[in-house]
Amino acid sequence: MSYTKNLIQEVIGKTPGESEFHQAMTEVFSALAPVVDNEPKYQEAGILKKMSIPERAIVFRVPWLDDKNQVQVNTAYRVQFSSAIGPYKGGMRFHPSVNLSVLKFLGFEQVFKNSLTGLPIGGGKGGADFDPKGKSDAEVMRFCQSLMTELCKYLGPDEDVPAGDIGVGAREVGYMYGQYKRIVGRYEGILTGKGLTYGGSLGRTEATGYGLLYLMDNILKGAKNGFDGKKCSISGSGNVAIFAAEKTYQLGGIPITMSDSGGFVHDPDGLDLDLMKDLKLNRRERISEYAKARPSAKYTEGTGLWNVPCDIALPCATQNELHEADAKALAANGCIAVGEGANMPCTAEAVDVFLEKGIFFAPGKAANAGGVAVSCLEMSQNSMRLSWTFEEVDNKLQDIMAGIYQKMSAAAEEYNMKGNFVAGANIAGFKKVAEAMLAQGVV
Ligand code: NDP
């Protein structure tokens, strides 16, 4: 058995029950086989083995009082995966499905994603099994304050800088930042995704969705194609999905679907984005309300979004939301490109279908890297005590996404896998981190 196959089996054996982490690790290590199996220096220095274990993972309890003065207790985590190329960087997720496996998969992916951006940031991820849905503002605030009372011990502008993710938007970041400042007494950039009045960056809210479209545009243009007139199916209706839809319109495409955990809407001539933003960003409503307010749209409860015919599919909700049967349906309906706005939304079997059918497929670590890239730009602005304009940030974002496209294309070609962006993104992301680890010795 090859070195990488052996190692994958060893890691799976030592981390029972961590299925999401196994899935991500298997994808990355399998893609790295042509590099690592033939390069003794990586094996001799134990690079992959070190990469499979976080530098540090913190698990802690978060007790808080609900509005009825009842004590509630959640479990929170911060997985600090790699600081080889910079301080740990990666979001916080608040969702009932959060556990160590989910956060290890996200932190592991983050290492390679952050490397691909070309910026000096390591990888980490955190979160809690807390569900902000249905909680009052005061409850969310008390939870965030209690969480930060413990987490603040492990953060610092040069140590670990979390951001938002599922269930963590501007409100949650604000409450966590306020508590950090209250405890440590310093005004420093230990969180990104902050509000514009206290150190946030213009363009951060839009960055992941816009970045996804910039990357897909590079891919399509590389094939002498573009977004003009293309119907795009988007899943999710959170931060990433909404700004992916906005940039789809700006590039001449037509977003026709969006979803939440209850179901999806299909609006065949194009979504009304103002209505969607008002419902989801301002009023925090369920997506079924969209169809009630918009006669051209149809609401379907549950799954089935990927059966809607489209030219381009952009899964932007959560991990493992697009399965093999969905991939086959997309292919049968003439879909030409898929870009992962979410982290690992496509199962391994679905990705195989896309690659077999010659559908352009951009993996999350490349496609959604715009968010962390602009988070890093927020860190730079905080350190310099400066605020850049929206255009400055957006131009940098476009350059970064074009750079990611070039890096993953070149790496795929170098290993004779032209057009395989899964292999290309993993190899390009890996090499920078691996070289930094080699240079820093056995630590
Ligand atoms: P939000 O919390 O803003 O939105 C998440 C969306 O996905 C909501 O519509 C939510 O519906 C839906 N969703 C969440 N969990 C499930 C589920 N189990 N089943 C079906 N639908 C679900 O999160 P973001 O938009 O920030 O993040 C979306 C994805 O993008 C995640 O994978 C995240 O890791 C990734 N990402 C985010 C970045 C960012 O900058 N925000 C950066 C890079 C990646 P509901 O409201 O019903 O739960």
Please write the tens of the pLDDT for every residue from 93-121: 999 999 999 999 999 999 999 999 999 99
**C-alpha–C-alpha distance, residues 12 and 228, integer Å:** 44
Residue 113 CA: nearest ligand 1 atom is: 43
**C-alpha–C-alpha distance, residues 265 and 401, integer Å:** 29
In testing the pocket of ligand 1, which one of 173, 261, 264 has its CB within 8 Å of the most ligand atoms? Answer: 261
Predicted confidence band at 442 (pLDDT cuts at 50, 70, 90)?
confident
Q: Which residues of 61-78 are buried (b: 16+ CB within 10 A; e: fewer)?
A: ebebeeeeeeebebebbb
Note the residue count of the chain: 443
Contact 248, 232 (CB under 8 A): yes
Please write the tens of the pLDDT for every residue from 261-310: 999 999 999 999 999 999 999 999 999 999 999 999 999 999 999 999 99
Distance 138 CA to ligand 1 centre (A): 23
pLDDT given at position 443: 72
Distance 56 CA to ligand 1 centre (A): 25
**C-alpha–C-alpha distance, residues 242 and 255, integer Å:** 10
Please write the tens of the pLDDT for every residue from 155-167: 999 999 999 999 9
The region of weakest confidence among 35-39, 54-58, 108-112, 380-384 is 35-39
Predicted confidence band at 39 (pLDDT cuts at 50, 70, 90)?
confident
Residue of minimum CA distance from atom 29 in ligand 1: 342
Our answer to whether residue 125 is catalytic in this structure is yes
Those residues whose C-beta lies under 8 Å from the C-beta of residue 406, and which sit 6 or more positions away, are none
Q: Which of 125, 194, 231, 247 is catalytic?
A: 125
Report the share of the chain in percent with pLDDT over 70.
Answer: 100
Residue 319 CA: nearest ligand 1 atom is: 32
Q: Give residue for tokens 């001799």.
A: 44
Q: What is the mean pLDDT of the chain?
A: 97
pLDDT given at position 38: 81
**C-alpha–C-alpha distance, residues 309 and 326, integer Å:** 11
Predicted confidence band at 345 (pLDDT cuts at 50, 70, 90)?
very high
Predicted confidence band at 431 (pLDDT cuts at 50, 70, 90)?
very high
Residues with CB under 6 A from ligand 1: 164-167, 208, 236-241, 260-262, 316-318, 341-343, 368, 371
Predicted confidence band at 423 (pLDDT cuts at 50, 70, 90)?
very high
Pick from 348, 356, 287: which is nearest to 322 by CA? 348
pTM of the model as a whole: 0.96
**C-alpha–C-alpha distance, residues 363 and 95, integer Å:** 23
- Residue 311, exposed/middle/buried by CB under 10 A (0-12, 13-18, 19+)? buried
pLDDT > 90? residue 212: yes
pLDDT > 80? residue 1: no
